[in-house]
A = this chain, B = another copy of it.
């Protein structure tokens, strides 16, 4: 069974949500979790919930990297922070993967500082699942967008590598046999988007190991046109956060409606199915986490506001990615790159 190092102190609801998530995993699976953090605080939370001590160990770490910390400074000075202790546990082979809901920049820099890029990979990518409309029954309602912030600008070569990595991840984790890969662009034609995207399009068409479906535009993100969408970090980051903003606005609307007069509440109950469908669009931050791809070790970054359920999901996804040997899959895909 895989061993997952879980940063107990990172996230908006840490350590409470993190420890409860780990406890949930310990009672429902055989996954081994190393809960890295303040031993007393972690144990105090564990004492309140059912958990299986056979599958769960506490690894002490004295420091915490806060959500607002400058990532570079924090990774340099807080060597004993739970995040970095968890990352070192994976780098040393005591764990197979890391899960954290903490400071995103520190997660990426910490991984870069201790893990090794796979052969040929130029830059790691932060991938994120996001919700989209499905086209047929049984289709995964989540698609994968990368990079969403590990890079700023990218060369064509890096975009091709992102495509190969994202394809390998989706194939293993979403069990889509041939994930459709799209290049995020400002037009469908191969000539669009400037020299780097034109070159990336040309290179992606040459790849034999992936199912490249061409350029996808902003409105295609919402439709099920591609399963993996590739772009530079600046574009992916703005796009993802924009979607979070829209989702947040819809949540506000639903809450405001729920708090209004009775007639509203009646209406809401009648419309519960519709509201559920909107909620499905807005609660994707609770969904499985965002892999950092390109290293020899796996790292699943969870949204800062993850609850216990989301953390448990992410640990399970990390374990699944270890079992399904995602880094090897990526290594093989890169070996076939043209």
Q: Which residues of A approach B to under 8 Å, CB–CB?
A: 133, 149, 152-153, 184-186, 193-194, 197, 217-223, 231, 233-235, 237-246, 248-250, 252-253, 257, 263-264, 266-271, 274, 277-278, 281
Contacts and interface: CB of A to CB of B under 8 A. Distances in A.
27 contacts: A149-B186, A153-B194, A184-B238, A185-B234, A185-B238, A193-B234, A194-B234, A217-B241, A218-B237, A218-B238, A218-B239, A219-B242, A219-B245, A222-B242, A222-B246, A222-B248, A222-B249, A231-B238, A235-B238, A239-B242, A242-B243, A249-B281, A257-B271, A266-B267, A266-B270, A267-B268, A267-B269
Nearest to A249: B222
Contacts of A241: 186, 217-219
A189 B278 CA distance: 32
Contacts of A197: 234
Nearest to A184: B238
Contacts of A221: 242, 245
A150 to B, nearest CB: 11
A257 to B, nearest CB: 5
B244 A219 contact: yes
Given A152-B186, A185-B238, A249-B281, 8 more contacts: A186-B238, A194-B234, A218-B241, A218-B242, A238-B239, A257-B271, A257-B274, A267-B267
A152 B193 contact: yes
Give the number of copies in the complex: 2
B237 A239 contact: no
A185 B152 CA distance: 10
Contacts of A250: 278
A119 to B, nearest CB: 27
Given A149-B186, A217-B241, A234-B235, A133 B249 contact: yes
B253 A278 contact: yes
Contacts of A277: 253
A133 B300 CA distance: 33
Nearest to A244: B219
A293 to B, nearest CB: 18
A271 B260 CA distance: 11
Question: Which of A238, A269, A271, A274 has its CB near the most chain B CB atoms (within 10 A)?
Answer: A238
Contacts of A234: 185-186, 193-194, 197, 235
Contacts of A264: 270-271, 274
A285 to B, nearest CB: 12
B267 A271 contact: yes
Contacts of A222: 242, 245-246, 248-249
